[in-house]
Amino acid sequence: MEKLKKKLGSFSFWNWVIASIIFRLILIYFPKNLNLSSRPEVSTPLTSFRRLAEGYWLKQSSMSPYAGSMYHGSPLLLSLLGPLTLKRIEGQPNHLLYSLVSVIADVVSAMLIRSTGQSLQLAYFRSLESLDLVKQIEGSEVHSSGDVAALVYLCNPFTIVACVGLSTSPIENMAVILCLYGACSRLIPLAAFGWVIATHLSLYPAILIIPVIFLLGCGPDSPPRKLFLQRQQQKGVLNQAKLPPGFSWGPIIHFAFWALVWSVYVLVLCGISLKQFGGLWEMFKSTYGFILTVEDLSPNIGVLWYFFAEVFEFFRNFFLIVFHVNILFIILPLAIRLHHRPCYLAFVYVAICSMLKSYPSVGDSALYLGLLGWFVNELSDMQFSLFLFCGYVGVSLLSPVMHNLWIWRGTGNANFYFATAMVYACLQIVLVVEGVSAMLNHDRKLRSLITGKPQDSKS
Amino acid sequence: MSLLRRPLLVLILVVTSQFLQLWIAFGSVNEEGQRQEEFYEELLLKPLPDRKVLTHFHFQSSAPLTSNGRHHHLFPKAISQLVQKFRVKEMELSFTQGRWNYESWGGFDSIPSSNAKPPGVELWAVFDVPQYLIDSLWKNLTHTLSGLFCASINFLESSTAYSAPEWSFPPASGNLRYGTLPREAVCTENLTPWLKLLPCRDKAGISMLLDRPSIYRGFYHSQRLHLTSTESGSEGMDPGIVLEQTLTVVLQPNSQRASLARASEKHIQPSWSLSSIFGKQVSGKCVLAETSNVYLLLDRGLVAELKQLHKENGKSAEKVLTSENFWTNPCFELSAKPDRIFIEESSLLSKNSSVLYKFEVEKYSEFEPFDLGLTWKIPVVWLCQQAPLHASRFLMGSGNERGAIAISLKSTQSSEGFMGANSDHERCELRVDVFQVVPWYVKVYFHSLQVFVDQQPKAVSDIIEKIHVSPSKDKVSPGVMELVLKLPCSVSSAALTIEFDKGFLRIDEYPPDANQGFDIPSAIVSFPNYHASMVFLGNDSLNKSPLLSKFKCLLCILDHCLMHYEGVLLRRRDFLKTKPPRKLVGYFCCCQSCQRSLEVRVKVRIEMYADQVEGAGKRSVKERLNGNSFHNSIPRRQTTGKRQRQDEKWEHDLYHDDVPHVSYRTTDARDLRLKLQRKSLQQVSQSGRGALSGVRDLREKLSGTMNPWPVNADPPKLKSDLTKPTRRSVTVETSEPEPKKAATTEAKKKAQQKADASVEGFLQSLGLEKYAITFQVEEVDMTALVHMTDDDLKALGIPMGPRKKIILALE
Instruction: Report pLDDT digits (tens) over A337-365.
Output: 998 899 999 999 999 999 999 999 999 99
Residue A132 has pLDDT above 50, yes or no: yes
How high is the pLDDT of residue B105?
83
Q: What is the pLDDT of residues B72-87, one digit of tens each?
A: 788 888 888 888 888 8
b/e per residue, B649-670, with b = 16+ CB within 10 A?
ebeeebeeeebeeebeeebebb
Is residue B5 within 8 angstroms of chain A, CB to CB? Answer: no
For chain B, give every residue range classified as CATH 2.60.40.1170.
389-418+426-527+562-571
Q: Which of B107, B224, B537, B222 is nearest to B358 (CA)?
A: B537
- Taking alpha carbons only, the member of A86, A59, A67 closest to residue B460 is A86
Beta strands, E only, B439-526: 442-453, 456-458, 464-470, 479-488, 493-502, 519-520, 524-526
Q: Does B586 touch chain A (CB under 8 A)?
A: no
Instruction: Supply φ then ψ for residue A448, to 5 degrees.
Output: -70, -30
Whose CA is closest to A339, among A205, A261, A244? A244
| B811 in A contact zone (CB under 8 Å) | no
Q: Rounded to a whole number, what is the largest CA-CA distance in chain B?
A: 109
B133-168 core/surface letters (b: 16 or more CB in 10 A; e: else): ebeebbbebbebbbebbebebbbbbebbbbbbbbeb
Query: Residue A455 above 80 pLDDT?
Result: no
Nearest alpha carbon to residue B434 among B477, B399, B466: B466
Distance, CA of A171 to CA of A164 (rounded, Å): 13
Among A36, A43, A54, the strongest candidate for a mutation testing the B interface, having the largest count of B CBs within 10 A, is: A54
Instruction: Check the CA dihedral A156-A161-A166-A167 and report its sign.
Output: negative
pLDDT number for residue B346: 60
Question: Quick one: B389-418+426-527+562-571 is in which CATH superfamily?
Answer: Mu homology domain, subdomain B (2.60.40.1170)
- CATH 1.10.150.50 spans which residues of chain B? 736-811
| B379-B381-B384-B388 Cα dihedral, nearest 10 degrees | 180
Report the distance separating Cα A442 and Cα B600, nearest Å: 55
- Residue B423 · residue B452 · CB < 8 Å: no
Q: Is the pTM of this model over 0.90?
A: no
Burial class (CB in 10 A: 0-12, 13-18, 19+), A278: middle
Residue range A305-328: average pLDDT?
A: 89
Q: Decide: A153 and A366 in contact? Cβ < 8 Å.
A: yes
Q: Is the dihedral of CA B770, B772, B774, B777 positive or negative?
A: negative
Residues of A in contact with B446 (CB under 8 A): 54, 57-58
| 8 Å CB contact of B505 and A297 | yes
Measured distance CA(B225)–CA(B125) in Å, rounded:
11
How confident is the model at residue B725, as a pLDDT? 38
Among chain B residues, the shortest Cα distance to A418 is held by B578
SS3 call for B55:
strand
Q: Which helix (H) or strand (E) holds B247?
A: strand B240-251
| Chain B residue closest in CA terms to A404 | B399
With beta carbons under 8 A apart, name residues in chain B contacting A67.
470-471, 473
Higher-scoring residue by pLDDT: A398, B724: A398
Alpha-carbon span A113 to A194, nearest angstrom: 14
Rounded mean pLDDT of A31-57? 87
CB B242 within 8 A of CB B78: no
What pLDDT score does B721 carry? 38
Residue B712: exposure state from Cβ atoms within 10 A (0-12, 13-18, ≥19) = exposed
Q: What is the pLDDT of residue B413?
A: 64
Q: What is the pLDDT of residue B310?
A: 74
The per-residue pLDDT for range A65-118, each reduced to its tens digit, is 998 889 999 999 999 988 888 877 777 777 888 999 999 999 999 999 999 999
Which residues on adjacent β-strands are paired with residue B479?
A: B438
Residues on chain B touching A52 (C-beta within 8 angstroms): none
Whether the CB-CB separation of B195 and B282 falls below 8 Å is answered with no
Note whether B284 and B204 are within 8 A (CB).
Answer: yes
- Calculate the CA dihedral of residues B736, B741, B745, B748 and round it to 10 degrees: -40
Provide the pLDDT for residue B685: 44
Given CB atoms, is A294 within the 8 Å cutoff of chain B? Answer: no
Q: Say yes or no for a CB contact (<8 Å) between B467 and A61.
A: yes
CATH superfamily of B736-811: Transcription Factor, Ets-1 (1.10.150.50)
CB-CB contact of A194 with A105 (8 Å): no
Nearest chain B residue to A296 by CA distance is B504
pLDDT top residue among A7 and B719: A7
Q: Which residues contact B318 (CB under 8 A, 6 or more apart)?
A: none
Share of chain A above pLDDT 70, in %: 92
Nearest neighbour of A58 by CB, restricted to B443, B471, B579: B471
Strands (E), B659-763: none
ipTM: 0.88
Which neighbouring-strand residues pair with B121? B95, B181
* Gap between the Cα atoms of B441 and B468, Å rounded: 20
Question: Is some CB atom of chain B closer than 8 A to the CB atom of A410?
Answer: yes
Q: Is residue A417 within 8 angstroms of chain B, CB to CB?
A: no
Question: Cβ separation of A68 and B471 shorter than 8 Å?
Answer: yes
Say which of A61, A310, A408 has its CB closest to residue B507: A310
Of residues A97 and A8, which shows the higher confidence score?
A97
**Inter-chain residue contact A54 with B581, CB threshold 8 Å:** no
Give the three-state DSSP class for B758: helix
* Residues of A with Cβ-Cβ distance to B507 under 8 angstroms: 309-310
Best probe of the A interface among B163, B398, B401, B473, by most A CBs < 10 A, is B401
pLDDT at A10: 63
Contact B579 A413 (CB under 8 A): yes
- In three-state secondary structure terms, B458 is strand
Check A296 against B506: CB less than 8 A apart: no
In angstroms, rounded to a whole number, what is the distance separating the alpha carbons of residues B730 and B741? 14
Q: What is the distance in angstroms between the Cα of B455 and the nearest Cα belonging to chain A?
A: 21
Tally of helices (H runs) and strands (E runs) in chain A: 20, 0
Collapsing DSSP to helix, strand or coil, B272 comes out as strand
* B181 DSSP β-pair partners: B121
Find the CB nearest A415 among B443, B474, B581: B581
User: Between residues 459 and 498 of chain B, which touch chain A (CB distance below 8 Å)?
Assistant: 467, 469-475, 479
Give the integer Cα–Cα distance in Å for A170 and A204.
15
Give chain B positions within 8 Å (CB) of A312.
508, 588
Helix (H, G, I), strand (E, B) or coil at B498: strand
DSSP conformation letters of A344-366: HHHHHHHHHHHHH-SS--HHHHH
Q: Which residues of chain B have pLDDT under 50?
A: 1-4, 20-33, 258-261, 348, 415-425, 539-541, 552-677, 679-752, 754-756
